């Protein structure tokens, strides 16, 4: 990891460090657009064709049967079931508290307004299955979808022949019976456009590689596509640490993020160069013991350390970067909470590793990346809901605001709007 000194960074260099795409060379938009166009026109047939090409798909059916769910769910060890159940309880508890109350208010005599929260009817949950299967992502997405009351929940995950038993166990636990064995851009296309044998969904959730992300972005602006949870990019963590932090802990957090994929980013910002050097040394020690060392080494090429003179500068840079995950490992971290303006999810103190949020603390790990934390929140219960407003006016109520409406309509030269009020007088 290369070291930079914050006070010496020129504006152009700072912009380069904030740019997540600086190491991405190829443009995949046309390839993904081509796959989506074919799936849109030919449905399941094309989706299976690309699944065979990219994922070695060989299953007899793209749909998981009830028998497969039952049999697969039985394959888990007791320890795996216990871990899933513990994570389930924590995630459920945190998300169930996010329920919002409907609003019903009398604005004035004869004018009533209300707002009702309703579940999104049909949602698709994309669960990656490339370099690693992610049952934790299914927990993070399926639990709030069920709490919200979504009537139809569909899982899509890339497989060769069989869906991972951990996915099947969670599906059975949550009563999800519709599971597609197709992932990638073709899986996103199938969720968005549907087929004569499969109905499209209203909104798609879940992370994925660059092809999945690009597919989600494309279908989200297609009038015949559907909504998505958020625009996303490679996973990332930024750690703010002072000299009181534990370099072993910090190094482990940087490495845990780096193993997500070769395009992930792990960033350390500290006001202690001595601490930075201790972390660099610890990185090399721990890296030797990790199974996904090959991925991590590539990921660390996208990563760096920034040395600041003041700790406040670290928070300034972090807010500019707007990380997906922000870990604050400083002595008096509560003192600095108010300085945090942009982040997907924040982990406070030496004993709050990102891994906790990824799996079982209770918060959601589906978070905005690529700087979108400046304007977009991570997945919450409200992500699976929509709201509808209602208004009811009596003749007297309309009379009290008639002049206001007519005046504003005439300012905007929308005389038909004004007339709709005048004919009621």
Separation CA 365–CA 5 (nearest Å):
31
> Taking the alpha carbons of 195, 201, 203, 204 in that order, is the dihedral positive or negative?
negative
User: Nearest Cα to 70, choosing from 165, 160, 142, 179?
Assistant: 165
β pairing state of 111-119 and 385-393: antiparallel
| CA 258 to mean position of chain CA atoms | 17
Asked if residue 233 lies in contact with residue 214, where contact means CB atoms within 8 angstroms, the answer is no
In the set 68, 236, 324, 354, the catalytic residue is: 324
Query: 325 an active-site residue?
Result: yes
Which alpha helices (DSSP H) does 194-305 contain, by range? 210-220, 247-258, 273-287, 293-300
> Both tokens of residue 170?
């969670």
The beta strand positions in 12-127, using DSSP E, are 103-108, 111-119, 122-126
In the set 166, 325, 354, 365, the catalytic residue is: 325
Phi, psi for residue 421 in degrees, rounded to 5: -85, -45
List C-alpha distances in Å: 423 to 116, 120, 266, 408.
Answer: 30, 38, 64, 17
Asked if residue 269 lies in contact with residue 235, where contact means CB atoms within 8 angstroms, the answer is no
> Both tokens of residue 243?
């000299």
Asked if residue 155 lies in contact with residue 127, where contact means CB atoms within 8 angstroms, the answer is yes
List C-alpha distances in Å: 83 to 91, 170, 242.
Answer: 12, 11, 33
Tokens 């918060």, located at residue:
363
Name the residues annotated as catalytic.
Answer: 324-325
């Amino acid at each position: 990891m290369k070291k930079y000194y914050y006070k010496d960074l020129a504006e152009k260099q700072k912009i380069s460090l904030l740019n997540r795409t600086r190491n991405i060379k190829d443009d995949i938009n046309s390839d993904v657009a081509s796959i989506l166009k074919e799936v849109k026109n030919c449905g399941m047939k094309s989706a299976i064709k690309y699944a065979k090409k990219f994922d070695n798909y060989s299953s007899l059916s793209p749909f998981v049967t009830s028998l497969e769910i039952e049999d697969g769910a039985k394959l888990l060890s007791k320890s795996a079931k216990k871990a899933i159940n513990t994570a389930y309880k924590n995630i459920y508890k945190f998300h169930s508290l996010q329920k919002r109350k409907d609003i019903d208010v009398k604005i004035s005599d004869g004018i009533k307004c209300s707002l009702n929260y309703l579940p999104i009817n049909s949602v698709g949950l994309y669960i990656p299955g490339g370099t690693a299967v992610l049952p934790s992502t299914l927990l993070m997405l399926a639990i709030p979808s069920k709490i919200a009351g979504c009537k139809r929940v569909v899982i899509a995950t890339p497989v060769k022949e069989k869906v991972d038993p951990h996915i099947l166990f969670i599906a059975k636990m949550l009563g999800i019976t519709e599971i597609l064995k197709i992932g990638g851009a073709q899986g996103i296309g199938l969720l968005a456009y549907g087929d004569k044998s499969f109905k499209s969904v209203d909104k798609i959730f879940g992370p994925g590689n660059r092809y999945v992300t690009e597919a989600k972005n494309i279908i989200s602006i297609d009038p015949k596509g559907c909504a998505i949870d958020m625009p996303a990019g490679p996973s990332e963590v930024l750690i703010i640490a002072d000299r009181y932090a534990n370099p072993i802990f910090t190094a482990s957090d940087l490495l845990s993020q780096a193993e997500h994929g070769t395009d992930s980013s792990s960033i350390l910002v500290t006001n202690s160069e001595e601490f930075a050097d201790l972390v660099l040394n610890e990185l090399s020690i721990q890296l030797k013991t990790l199974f996904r060392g090959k991925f991590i080494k590539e990921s660390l090429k996208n990563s760096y350390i920034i040395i600041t003179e003041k700790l406040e500068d670290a928070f300034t840079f972090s807010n500019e970067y707007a990380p997906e995950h922000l870990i604050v490992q400083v002595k008096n971290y509560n003192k600095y909470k108010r300085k945090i303006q942009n982040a997907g999810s924040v982990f406070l103190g030496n004993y709050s590793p990102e891994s906790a949020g990824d799996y079982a603390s209770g918060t959601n790990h589906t978070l905005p990346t690529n700087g979108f934390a400046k304007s977009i929140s991570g997945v919450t219960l409200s992500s699976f809901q929509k709201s509808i407003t209602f208004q009811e006016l009596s003749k007297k109520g309309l009379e009290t605001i008639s002049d206001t409406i007519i005046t504003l309509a005439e300012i905007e030269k929308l005389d038909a709007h004004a007339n709709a009020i005048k004919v009621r007088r």
